[in-house]
Amino acid sequence: MDMATYFRLIDRCGEFSSLILSDDGKTCLGAVTKDGTLYLADRVILASGAWTPSLIDLQDQCCSRAWVYAHMQITPDEAKEYTNCPVVYNEDFGFFFEPNKHGIIAEPSALLRGESRESEPKLISISPRSHARHPLDTYPDASEESIRRAIQVLLPKFKDRELFNRTM
């Protein structure tokens, strides 16, 4: 009996376009990628994140959300003050993480609010847009304002610090 587990990195051959279901529609047998490749398996683990609703109807069990973030440069001396600091989360403003291993970057982030509910289920016609495939994308002006407000409230001494690597 073959008990091995095999992983496929779909990014090399394209995105999923559909799932392969059993005749009764209750069992997932595999997936088809946009390039037409079929992947069949005894057990399918779908790890598609925000793209999940493009493959299956989640029936309002979850919804995709977007987080925006930007980086700001801080000095090594400033970073020492935040070493081993826990992640700061404020429901209104988002997250701040301790500086990275080099001690020079902090990451303010904010939830991009805005969701919609329909009275009747509708198929999703497009997948989320990712920064990995669109690296020049940034975030809306309102997100810049939101992050600036978060810095003003949670880390006021950095309120005038330049932000870079803005993304969603």
| Tens of pLDDT, residues 40-70 | 989 888 777 777 877 777 777 776 666 788 8
Q: What separation in angstroms does the CA of 135 have from each of 51, 70, 128, 130?
A: 18, 14, 14, 8
pTM (two decimals):
0.59
CATH 3.40.50.300 fits 66-167, yes or no: no
Q: pLDDT tens for residues 79-114?
A: 888 888 888 787 777 778 888 776 656 666 666 555
Return the percent helix, strand and coil in the chain, to nearest 5. 20, 25, 55
The Cα–Cα gap between 118 and 57 comes to: 14
Per domain, the residue ranges of the chain are 10-47, 66-167
